[in-house]
Amino acid sequence: MPQISRLSPVSRSADFTMLLLLLGLMAGACLSSLVPEKEKNPQYWRDQAQQTLRHALKLQNLNTNVAKNVILFLGDGMGVSTVTAARILKGQLHHMSGEDFQLEMDKFPFVALSKTYNTNAQVPDSAGTATAYLCGVKSNEGTLGVSAAVVRSQCNTTKGNEVTSILRWAKDAGKSVGIVTTTRVNHATPSAAYAHSADRDWYSDNEMPTEALSQGCKDIAHQLVHNIPDIEVIMGGGRKYMFPKNTTDVEYGDEEKARGTRLDGQFLVNVWKDKKPRNKNAHYVWNRMQLLDLDLDRVDFLLGLFEPMDMTYELNRNNQTDPSLTEMVEVAIKILRRNPKGFFLLVEGGRIDHGHHEGKAKQALHEAVEMDRAIGQAGAMTSVEDTLTVVTADHSHVFTFGGYTPRGNSIFGPWTV
């Protein structure tokens, strides 16, 4: 462009205007070329509308069967904008533009929105919301498996205010139950299924104040082993809270943050195994290869703790040591479905939330895509005739994407033409 600098100001202005016009025309041509040829025909959209209407009319023939099995998929922090971006990402991972892609959860026949708040908080946390959808009772922020009469961190408000969850109800009905999560198994979402705690952060007794211990409150890891000892499947992270303080981790050696935390000296993994009937096969595994090598026909109880704390993000997952959420769900269903009375399975895509908290959209969206894969796997292994599958979120996040980017633009990339 050296010639432009030698022109008069007026000429330079005219040239610049012409350049912008040419670039605009080029961009318009590129954007136009992104439109599939079939979509330029109005009949394409009318046929699609008719197909949608025909599908909706079929839903009038409701499935009135009583569900033998219930699977609850919980995308922690997975709001509407996260679902939209995950849909585009999954489509792009399949070498498509993404916007018109269909997630597994998009294929479900019914959709609804819910209000999310805690009894004392306008914006809810995962503990209070888990108590709401697992126990049917709204509670205060930061409390688990208790009513709103319990004040966070005040142990002496707990007694008499415990509430039961669908996990307990399912066991009382003779069903098998399971918990699968990408967070710690004693994190907020899974904990509300089996624990009653005035504070979601009481992972082990090491995190509890002296006052709470003296008043008789038990940590969440302790409750996992003792409250409902016959949970058939438990998988996720949270290994460090099950072992005595400073116990060397089986995977990370003397790495300080991976060491055991318990002050009571208990090896809760051993306690978990000892509480099982002698005629039942109870297996503890800590890595992916051990999990996949199991003869599942000979597994009655399974405890899988694959990380000291939360499991690693899907994008950073070690294929040798950490199973994917989809793999854990497949194993869980194979074990649970052997019960002729059915099962209840809670599946949490918990690190969607963590990715958003950390401002890592790429991590959060890949977590959402992995949970959608798990939804598809569960659907392939069950029947709509006897299995009710629900996909939901406990709250949303301050996450958005916008701008008039062209169709097919990378969901993570800048605007490219």
User: Looking at the annotation, which residues are catalytic?
Assistant: 126
* Residue linked to tokens 């005035």: 198
Q: Measuring CA to CA, which residue among 317, 305, 205 is closest to residue 251?
A: 305
Number of helical (H) and strand (E) elements in the chain, helices listed first: 14, 7
Q: Measuring CA to CA, which residue among 171, 166, 181, 107 is closest to residue 332? A: 181
Cα 190 to Cα 220: distance, rounded to the nearest angstrom: 10
Helix/strand/coil for 383 = coil
DSSP 8-state symbol, 62: -
* Sign of the C-alpha dihedral computed for residues 107, 70, 239 and 287 taken in this order: negative
Kindly provide the b/e burial profile for residues 272-310, where b requires at least 16 CB atoms within 10 angstroms of the residue's own CB: beeeeeeeeebbbbbbbeebeebebeebbbbbbbbbbbb
Rounded Cα distance between 328 and 305, Å, is 11
Helix (H) or strand (E) holding 191: helix 188-191
CA dihedral sign, ordered 71, 72, 74, 80: positive
Secondary structure of the chain: what % helix, strand, coil (to 5)?
40, 15, 45
Which residues touch 313 (CB under 8 Å, ≥6 apart)?
A: 351, 354, 355, 363, 366, 367
Backbone angles phi, psi at 188, to 5 degrees: -55, -55
Neighbouring C-beta atoms of residue 42, cutoff 10 Å: 8
Of the candidates 247, 367, 377, 376, the residue with the CA atom closest to the CA atom of residue 310: 367
343-349 and 69-75 strand pairing: parallel
Query: For the residues of 149-165, what is the DSSP string, one character each?
Result: TSPTT-GGG-TT-B---
Query: Helix, strand or coil for residue 315?
Result: helix
Beta bridge partners of 379: none
